[in-house]
Chain A
Amino acid sequence: MELSLLTGRSIDQGCGKEHGKLSEEYRKNVAICQMNPEDMKKLQIREGENVKVTTKFGSVVVKAQKSRSIRSPRVIFIPYGPWASLISPPDTGGTGMPILKGMPATVEVTTEKVLDPLDLLVHSYGKEKSSVRD
């Protein structure tokens, strides 16, 4: 089932970022995918399960969360942050701005774990550059 991925701010993402981008608070509030309960039923996804969200540009594992604010079918929401950026399109169509709301995406249940920000850096840029200070 093809879904439309929206990214955006949420109050928990805003507060989480003030706790530090490496904090558990941030990961808990940003590495999530909010979905319409009907879509979750159709895709057999349960609240809190790890899901793999895939777009043309990659895939990322986040936690599924029921959302009462998403009433349209086939719409999912991931807050701004390193998890959403992993699957965002780089093309700006000559405007400077990529389309960050309304990307085609698919969602499936996975047993893979949600990476924390440091693992994401290693995953994206390799061990050498992302080796943090001792």
Chain B
Amino acid sequence: MPVVSNVVCPVCGCCCDDLEVIVENNKIIDARNACALSAAKFSNYSAHRNTKPFVRKNGKLVEASLNEAIKKSAEILSKASYPLLYGWSCTSCEAIRAGLELAEEVGGVIDNTSTICHGPSTLAIQDVGLPAATLGQIRHRADLIIYWGSNPWSSHPRHIERYTALSEGRFQKGIWRRLLSRLSADSGRKKRSIVARLVFKRGSLALPEKEQKAQYAFPSEGRKFIVFDVRKTRSADMADYFVQIEPGKDYEVLQALRALIRDEELDVEEVAGIPAETLEEIADLMINCRFGILFFGLGLTMSRGKIRNVEAAIKLTRDLNMRTKFLIMPMRGHFNVTGADTVFTWQTGYPYAVDFSHGYPRYNPGETSAVDILRRGDSDAALIVASDPVSNFPNEVTHNLVKKPLIVIDPHMSLTALMADVFIPSAFVGIEAEGTTYRMDHVPLPLKKLVEPPGGCLPDEEILRRIAQETRKLKR
């Protein structure tokens, strides 16, 4: 069976590039090395899709030709005075470039999904910078790995295995053995406690407090793996140490750690539910590591404090760099959200929320960002590419999205597509169309075309170029 090797995965920001996909008669039979998310995409991508363009007539979506759908889209965009062009993180850099050209042409606002993801991180990075490295450096060298407000087990399933704690680096080895022996000890403890409960009809399923503490003894050498979160996620179960923070109090903990690292003393007994002693122990670990990395997720950007939380985390790494080497990286979600930010920046100077209505790019998140524009009801049309804001934006703002003419370019039949006035099906980038994607550490990788798209489904880039062409014709 023909095997396509070194396939880059088009799902999350890890962009794993070691997939082997088995293709037979223009069909994907299997994807080896794929995580649960990737396997779900490769085996189901073609099951729930629409391959025909639709245009809404008399309130109903009716099948139309591709030309009709493209003309209708161009008509809507050229008539609009402040259209919103949103999505972009699940398509190729080439399509994003075409989208930016279209946004400039129609004088609209173009925004990508960073806006409700790591937008606050970008704002913090613009304030205080970001000490970063590639994931390869981290895999080979990092001896202290921290995930803060991030659950890679669910959102980036192979991140721990490929790049951090479980990876076999050149200078640092994975913690597989330690993890397995701890898990078997834990399961032994649980069994003993169940037996004790059955025999003596007292006690509870929970481990005695003393034993719970025992599992958190830091290893004396090798990699150390810590998770800070408000929930004890599966990622936290794998860590050497799980630090449970009271919801909404990440900022306090970050600042307390900063104080400890600068040799100041805490005059409180606990911070956000964490004993000062524990924080002192962690501060010591941070100072004494040789190469530390802090990955942070939406736990910091979406909770109270937003930008300030991320800023505190970056300042913590900055302080640590006075004592040792320490890096920080946002856990970017979609496979090309980093690419969207990158292409936006090289084309306009700004990473997201770019407003072309004045004829030149303008950037002011909070004003020119998608959620705010929709909340104020400023936009008079929208083009959504490879995204589903009707599912994921707060319901109150989507009312203003669906009230106005709505164009959707997407391979999926999403809820946004169902509300569209024009729906144009596209080819799946990384499966049916090639392109470039940026991994979360800003490494560009080529996405492969594995199978032919069904008839009538063009790549996003071509659809956008044709809409731009039609728009230009109408404007003349």
* Contact among B60, B390, B392 for A134, CB-based, below 8 A: B60
Given known pairs A71-B244, A85-B391, A86-B395, the reply for A11 and B366 (CB within 8 Å) is: no
B positions within 8 Å CB-CB of A: 11, 36-37, 40-41, 44-45, 47-48, 54, 59-63, 115-116, 119-120, 123, 151, 153-155, 157, 230-234, 236, 244, 246-248, 273, 298-299, 301-304, 306-307, 333, 353, 365-367, 369-372, 375, 388, 390-399, 402-403, 412-415, 418-419
Q: A124 near B: Cβ within 8 Å?
A: yes
Q: Is the CB of A18 within 8 A of B391?
A: no
Give chain B residues whose Cβ lies under 8 Å from the Cβ of A91: 375
Q: Is the CB of B230 within 8 A of A92?
A: no
* Contact among A9, A86, A87 for B151, CB-based, below 8 A: A9
Q: Is the CB of A133 within 8 A of B231?
A: no
Q: Is the CB of A68 within 8 A of B232?
A: yes
Give chain B residues whose Cβ lies under 8 Å from the Cβ of A87: 395
Per-position 1/0 for A96-128, Cβ under 8 A of B: 111111100000000000000110110011001
* Contact among A15, A75, A88, A133 for B60, CB-based, below 8 A: A133
Given known pairs A15-B36, A21-B414, A85-B391, the reply for A129 and B402 (CB within 8 Å) is: yes
Residue of B nearest to A7 (CB): B302
- For chain A, residues 25 to 41, give those with C-beta under 8 angstroms from any C-beta of chain B: none
Distance of A46 from chain B, by nearest CB (Å): 18
Distance of B414 from chain A, by nearest CB (Å): 5
Give chain B residues whose Cβ lies under 8 Å from the Cβ of A101: 247-248, 298-299, 302-303
Given known pairs A21-B415, A57-B396, the reply for A97 and B155 (CB within 8 Å) is: no
Give chain A residues whose Cβ lies under 8 Å from the Cβ of B236: 69
* Contact among A10, A15, A85, A95 for B394, CB-based, below 8 A: A85
A positions within 8 Å CB-CB of B: 4, 6-11, 13-15, 18-23, 57-58, 67-72, 75, 77, 80-82, 85-102, 117-118, 120-121, 124-125, 128-134
* Contact among A67, A94, A121 for B415, CB-based, below 8 A: A121
In the bound assembly, the distance between CA atoms of A85 and B415 in angstroms comes to 12
Known: A11-B234, A128-B59. 13 other contacts (CB 8 A): A13-B154, A75-B231, A77-B231, A80-B391, A85-B393, A88-B394, A94-B366, A95-B120, A97-B115, A97-B120, A101-B247, A120-B415, A125-B419
Q: Is the CB of A15 within 8 A of B244?
A: no
